[in-house]
Amino acid sequence: MAEYIGNIHIHSSYSDGHNSIEEIASIAAQCGLDFIIITDHGTLKGQQRQGYQKGVLVLVGMEVNDYANHYLAMDVRRVIAANTGRPQQVIDEVNRQGGFGIIAHPFEKGSPLYKKSKTYPWLDWNVTGFQGIEIWNFLSQWRDGIKGFFTGVWLLLNPAGSLVGPYPEVMAKLDEYHIQGKPVMLYGGSDAHGASVKIGIFRLRISPYDLCFKMINVHVITASALKGNERKDRETVYSALRRGRSWVACDYYQNSRGFRFEIRNEQQAWLPGDKAEYQEGMYLYVYTPFPARATIIKNGQIARVSYGKKHILRNITEGVYRIEVHIRHHLTYRPWIFSNPIWVQ
Ligand SMILES: [Zn+2]
Ligand SMILES: [Zn+2]
């Protein structure tokens, strides 16, 4: 098994992003990413640029949207038309193409300084067949944090200050699906555009790619190591993402590489996204690469809070388990890692 770090919600100059895919890939390489997924609005033109660039595996999906109900379509071949009124049709079309999809920034709050608090939330929760939900979106949360002029200046100078973690309503929504046994996985995105705003004579870059690639990343655990072969590696990464063999991390304060969450017995270990059959003596194992505060959540409730690098819960019973980790930064704990769940049934 191997771990790879990616950033999976990125806009290039094929839609409203600032840089070309080649430029974005070289920034990703400098930031230590293994793969990126470009998700331009309403186009798959970037697929001509799919493949390895500067050692980074570049994959291209798309963001399907006109107004609300933004949906990230992954592993698709043909452009999918937006349909705000009937998001189920968008989800079904992604599935028909053999792809998978992620509900994007579902609960954003908006900022009075951006288009009078305009938001692009997910409005229809009767839909089915989607693979996951974007629990944490850097650009969206950064904008939500700008409540007025002073917070705006503060967050331009200190963008990480906006990262308060996934909103409670999105985690409650996921817990609801997980308790019902539904494999709805959690993902995170930077929504990097590399855009800039003009304030007087100054031009300030918001969501620059190099900053975004240290913000909300997705780490995947793959069954085998990537081989440098574009087609095979694309399948390997997409398959880990589909299965939820992954976690969302804000790698800004410390890189979460090396984090592990497993349910184990004497013979076997189950990983995020897995469903394990209950046996006596099973235990939960979490390793964080730096000392941190790990919260073990069972069926949507806190089962244990533990400090350090190794976190173990013995003799677990049936239920669905997921992990949230916070890391110490100055006098506070900052949200760091949010893992996909493991079911014990
Ligand atoms: Zn969007
Ligand atoms: Zn976007």
Kindly list the averaged pLDDT for each block of 10 residues, start to end, along the chain of length 345: 97 96 98 98 97 98 96 98 96 98 95 84 97 96 87 83 94 98 97 81 79 95 95 97 98 96 96 96 97 98 98 97 96 96 97
Pairing between β-strand 216-222 and β-strand 202-205 as defined by DSSP bridges: unpaired
How far is the centre of ligand 1, averaged over its atoms, from the C-alpha of 289 (Å)? 32
Q: Which ligand is nearest to the CA of 10?
A: 2
Tell me what pLDDT residue 203 has.
74
Domain coordinates of the chain in residue numbers?
2-250, 260-344
How far is the centre of ligand 2, averaged over its atoms, from the C-alpha of 301 (Å)? 31
Q: Which ligand is nearest to the CA of 39?
A: 2
From the candidate CATH numbers 3.40.710.10, 3.10.150.10, 3.20.20.140, 1.10.1450.10, the one assigned to the domain spanning 2-250: 3.20.20.140
How far is the centre of ligand 1, averaged over its atoms, from the C-alpha of 83 (Å)? 14
Query: How many other CB atoms are found less than 10 A from the CB of residue 279?
Result: 11
Do 74 and 100 contact (CB within 8 A), yes or no? yes
How far is the centre of ligand 2, averaged over its atoms, from the C-alpha of 217 (Å)? 14
Q: Which ligand is nearest to the CA of 62?
A: 2
pTM: 0.96
How far is the centre of ligand 2, averaged over its atoms, from the C-alpha of 191 (Å)? 5
Tell me what pLDDT residue 149 has.
84
Query: How many other CB atoms are found less than 10 A from the CB of residue 154?
Result: 14
Alpha helices in the chain (DSSP H): 21-30, 87-96, 138-145, 149-157, 168-179, 209-212, 230-243
Residues with CB under 5 A from ligand 1 (ion): 70, 104
Tell me what pLDDT residue 148 has.
85
Q: Which ligand is nearest to the CA of 190?
A: 2
Length of the chain counted residue by residue: 345
How far is the centre of ligand 2, averaged over its atoms, from the C-alpha of 293 (Å)? 31
Q: Which ligand is nearest to the CA of 67?
A: 1
How far is the centre of ligand 2, averaged over its atoms, from the C-alpha of 15 (Å)? 10
Tell me what pLDDT residue 199 has.
66
Tell me what pLDDT residue 43 has.
98
Closest to 70 in 3D by CA, of 189, 152, 151, 160: 189
How far is the centre of ligand 1, averaged over its atoms, from the C-alpha of 137 (Å)? 9
How far is the centre of ligand 2, averaged over its atoms, from the C-alpha of 280 (Å)? 45
How far is the centre of ligand 2, averaged over its atoms, from the C-alpha of 285 (Å)? 34
The H-or-E segment that residue 269 falls in is strand 269-270
How far is the centre of ligand 2, averaged over its atoms, from the C-alpha of 189 (Å)? 8
How far is the centre of ligand 2, averaged over its atoms, from the C-alpha of 41 (Å)? 7
Q: Tokens at residue 213, please?
A: 């690639």
CATH topology of domain 260-344: Immunoglobulin-like (2.60.40)
Q: Which ligand is nearest to the CA of 37?
A: 2
